[in-house]
Amino acid sequence: MSNTKLEVYPLSKVEHLKVHGRTTGQRSPLALFWTGSAIEFHVKGSELWIEVEVEYDQYEPWISVLINEVPVSRQMLIAGRYWVCLFRGMNESALKSVRVVKELQAMNVDPGCSLQIHAVKSDGKFMPVEDKPYKLEFIGDSITSGEGTVGANVEEDWIPMWFSAIHNYTHITAETLNADYRVISQSGWGVLTSWDNNPHANIPDYYEQVCGLLTGDKNKALGAFDENNFAAWQPDVVVINLGTNDGGAFYSPEWQDESTGKTYKQRLNEDGSFVAEDLLAFERAAEHFLVKLRKYNKHAQLVWAYGMIGIPMMPAIARAVDAYVKKSGDRRVSVFQLPITTDETIGARNHPGVFAHQQAAKALAEYIRGILPVKKQAVS
């Protein structure tokens, strides 16, 4: 083991550093907002630490550490500013890929929740981190946030411990396709409305911002509400896994806006079918979201992938995609049905478990492989 003194480097001074996930250009410190957001190093040395600054009012962030693409640790980050050891005692001459991944989604319901990284310290040398051949963007709800992928089936507490970014179809799909990826997701949210009929809890309204669905002055100061720099990161494929909560809203009580007194409800007919007017509102919202996605992702394949918790909204999704294609002439849009979660693959909180995510990733990666640009075809 090396006895070399560890040197401290502010993150802004680390030349070879790769940032995963939407964030600002700020590196002093770096804020990680979304699930799956990460920092990655290629380093030769025996020891590596990062200095984190963590705040929250209720929901603490979690991280996973991957070394040479294999998860080696997962931990809760308590409040404060302190050092976290990523590894020590390793072969100082061997090159190691190290990625620190934010396991928890951006927490709309906790304006105090934040994770920043200030510095690193090591006895080694940082080497360049290459981009992978492809870029994937995933947009979704609790499924895409990895809710329930950790924990026993009996767990029902809505807490950060049961969320995971890496035991997740997003991460597994990206690894299978040798791709970099980003995730935009929020539990309970939808295209038109949330599971409880709140029309403000929809992903499309915040897509232009770095992480606009967050709240509070702290997140504003961190740059969460800034316009996202789309030119700096253009995906080859955008996967939209939304609709599950829009479907759930039909079975949930009405939601009342306290500021206006107005109520909102996706309604059912007496025979249990969806009210046509309300279903059409969902279809129009989905179609409009595709228009927005194409505006900011000029060359990407848009894949609406849905079905891990049933397919009640599949006909409406298919109609929305068809309407968009007919009006725009855009042929780089498709619908893909994901494998449904079973009693054998269910996880915590009645959400898809690890096996369900693995099955979904296998099917989705195979589909995406067929529509990726041939000139960039990678070996998985």
Domain membership of residue 288 (yes or no) is yes
pLDDT at res. 4: 65
Domain boundary among 86, 106, 127: 127
Query: Structure tokens of 61?
Result: 């962030």
Q: Does 376 score more than 50 pLDDT?
A: no
pLDDT tens digits, one per residue of 147-168: 999 999 999 999 999 999 999 9
In terms of domains, do 170 and 226 share one?
yes
In terms of domains, do 284 and 205 share one?
yes
In terms of domains, do 167 and 294 share one?
yes
CATH number at residue 295: 3.40.50.1110
**pLDDT confidence band for 379 (50 / 70 / 90):** very low
In terms of domains, do 78 and 216 share one?
no
How many Cα atoms are found within 13 Å in the side-chain-facing hemisphere of 133?
Answer: 14
CATH number at residue 95: 2.60.120.260
pLDDT tens digits, one per residue of 34-82: 999 999 999 999 999 999 999 999 999 999 999 999 999 999 999 999 9
Domain boundary among 127, 144, 176: 127
Q: Does 344 score more than 70 pLDDT?
A: yes
Domain membership of residue 12 (yes or no) is yes
Domain membership of residue 80 (yes or no) is yes
pLDDT tens digits, one per residue of 175-211: 999 999 999 999 999 999 999 999 999 999 999 999 9
Q: Does 346 score more than 70 pLDDT?
A: yes
Query: Structure tokens of 236?
Result: 């080859």
Burial of 325 (0-12, 13-18, 19+ CB in 10 A): middle
Alpha-carbon dihedral angle through residues 317, 319, 324, 325, given to the nearest 10 degrees: 110
Domain membership of residue 1 (yes or no) is no
pLDDT at res. 373: 81
In terms of domains, do 214 and 250 share one?
yes
pLDDT at res. 250: 98
Give the range of the structural domain holding residue 259, as residue numbers without chain letter. Answer: 134-376
pLDDT tens digits, one per residue of 308-337: 999 999 999 999 999 999 999 999 999 999
* Count of domains observed in the chain: 2
In terms of domains, do 16 and 111 share one?
yes
pLDDT at res. 2: 47
In terms of domains, do 67 and 167 share one?
no
Domain membership of residue 90 (yes or no) is yes
Domain boundary among 82, 102, 127: 127
In terms of domains, do 180 and 100 share one?
no
Domain membership of residue 300 (yes or no) is yes
Of 352, 325, 322, 114, give the one whose Cα is nearest residue 241: 352
Domain membership of residue 211 (yes or no) is yes
Burial of 235 (0-12, 13-18, 19+ CB in 10 A): buried
In terms of domains, do 94 and 164 share one?
no
In terms of domains, do 227 and 365 share one?
yes
In terms of domains, do 182 and 82 share one?
no
Whether a cis peptide bond, with omega within 30° of 0, leads into 29 is yes
In terms of domains, do 311 and 195 share one?
yes
pLDDT at res. 377: 46
Q: What distance in Å separates the CA atoms of residue 143 and residue 137, rounded to the nearest whole number?
A: 15
Residue 32 in contact with residue 20, Cβ under 8 Å?
no
Domain membership of residue 2 (yes or no) is no
In the chain, % of residues over pLDDT 70: 97
